[in-house]
Chains A and B, each alone.
Chain A
């Protein structure tokens, strides 16, 4: 998917871009509303991540202006301000959702997914692997015409695995991606979700292979 990140803190913008890129998304970053306007005029995006406090203005005003011009690209506001009022204003001003700095990438992605799901999937996000169709927005796996719903963690786990089929993911790595850093989980916790995913994949050519001592990988027939 293609995102526009409007954020004036360069390091943060780069990090967020990199993180989203790791998951296979294309991100344009700009540091001002003027540049954002230019980008929007030139290209279309699936979603805009818009900081509220920018050097040349308020993100909310910019959003309101966009909406008035009939541009309805989904927007997630990024706010550093604590005031609940800011959040309220952001939603009232036409934003689809917001995240408060600092945010967990997993949360941001979940919100992006939720927004896009609500908006009816602006872009084709389904992916096929072997005889399995994965729809992250709908959170479903379709195996042999049978659609199976995924829960959030199952979905995120499958998303990681399907992003690089055949690649081995260590248990620790997967834990870090799946669980909040605030949660104390054992490495074995990941086995539960792997087990669940395997059940959802039953009857398909795709399967999750345990590589002893190294981790898991998704392999085809």
Chain B
């Protein structure tokens, strides 16, 4: 699961939420700033115009010429918070009456009906100016007068900045609030995913029921896909079991026919050459059947190891059944199959019945196979600590120095297997069952020749 490039849905969701919050906070700041600037500019313009008109009211014609009396209060008012630089110019005719001679005039001369507001650069400052037009009686002629009042916009900008900063603070607060909220939202949105994952991982290996965990609608397709996958898996697994069984059937039945036919032919045949041929046919059939059987057994063991059922198994009873089952086989070669087991229910293990029986069957089968006619195979069962030890000793040909690990490897047979029919999978199956059930398997030479095979399983 540690793919380095794997991205986190949670992190992506969180990042997107935070990005969204940041964009909204920034948007809020810019919007408030723009609005604040427009609003304060409009307000400031109104004050500037009112002040210019107020100044123009001080304009009066006298017998010595036009005079203007500036009102300090007006100037203080325009200066608002005292933050702005003020410039003015009063023109009568084309002459500057008072104020700053070089203050820039508006491009369009106001006609007396309304003021003109404009912007200009003056003495290193950017000014907003209001120009008001008037007519004034200069001695005996009516002269146009122009009153220009300009100011910097530091105060206005300060107000706009304050408002925008407030908005920025609100945006930041919003963002700060968005961080924990996003965390909570992300967690709560992703919680069903986590719960679903936990529900899946809690399941045992053989639990192939479909998921009916309550999930949000958005996760329903995921759960449906999961369920459909589980259903397919279930079907595949059951098909695997069916396949193994069917394969056995389809291999064994024809082999069995061939063998029976060959046996009849052998009974009737007289020529030694054809008898030899028939014998080798039967032998080949036996080898094929045995190999196929063990391959399929091995497949079944491998398949069941991954999804073991857990049942209480009475090993004494199972060994008894097996002894009865193998009795005729042993008898065919006058091998005595002896068994010392404790009474019923004295030796139990918890595990998969099919696996355990498969292991025991292969153990005994193997021992019988490698024991000469009229030999002995002895099966014993005992407790050893927390283990139940099944020991199968034979008077066969021994191990010839081979190690357990070598004999339990797939398709490996002992160096002295000779003409005995075998696939080399029998002990592999035993070893794999031992491993699957947390037990152990080993082979050792028996006293007085032959081999002892020991399968230890945890007692149940």
Bound: A102/B281 CA distance, A = 13
Counting chain B residues whose Cβ lies within 8 A of the other chain, the interface size class is 35 or more
Given contacts A114-B327, A182-B286, contact A83 B252 (CB under 8 A): no
Q: Mark A167-210, 1 if CB is under 8 A from B, else 0.
A: 00000110011001111100000000000000000000000000
| A152 close to B256 (CB less than 8 A) | no
Contact pick for A102, options B289, B296, B357, B373, CB 8 Å: B289
Q: Closest CB of chain A to B324's CB: distance in Å?
A: 8
| B296 close to A82 (CB less than 8 A) | yes
Q: Closest CB of chain A to B397's CB: distance in Å?
A: 13
| A9 close to B257 (CB less than 8 A) | yes
| A84 close to B282 (CB less than 8 A) | no
Residue picked from B267, B292, B300, B353, most chain A C-beta under 10 Å? B267
Given contacts A9-B253, A19-B260, A102-B259, contact A84 B419 (CB under 8 A): no
Q: Closest CB of chain A to B243's CB: distance in Å?
A: 11
Residue in chain A with minimal CB distance to B292: A82
Given contacts A15-B261, A101-B256, A102-B260, contact A181 B283 (CB under 8 A): yes
| B357 close to A83 (CB less than 8 A) | no
| B289 close to A184 (CB less than 8 A) | no
Given contacts A15-B264, A111-B328, A182-B421, contact A82 B244 (CB under 8 A): yes
Q: Does A220 contact B (CB under 8 A)?
A: no
Q: Closest CB of chain A to B422's CB: distance in Å?
A: 9
Residue picked from B263, B266, B327, B353, most chain A C-beta under 10 Å? B263
Bound: A113/B328 CA distance, A = 9
Bound: A116/B124 CA distance, A = 127
| A102 close to B255 (CB less than 8 A) | yes
Contact pick for B256, options A18, A87, A103, CB 8 Å: A103
Q: Which residues of A contact B324 (CB under 8 A)?
A: 97
| A11 close to B261 (CB less than 8 A) | yes
- The residues in B between 331 and 390 inclusive whose CB is less than 8 angstroms from any CB of A are 331-334, 353-354, 357-358, 361, 373
Question: Which residues of B approach A to under 8 Å, CB–CB?
Answer: 241, 244-245, 248-249, 252-253, 255-261, 263-264, 266-267, 272, 275, 279, 282-283, 285-286, 289, 292-293, 296-297, 300, 321, 324-325, 327-329, 331-334, 353-354, 357-358, 361, 373, 419-421
Question: Which residues of A approach B to under 8 Å, CB–CB?
Answer: 9, 11-12, 15-16, 18-19, 22, 53, 80-88, 91, 97-98, 100-107, 110-111, 113-114, 151-153, 172-173, 176-177, 180-184
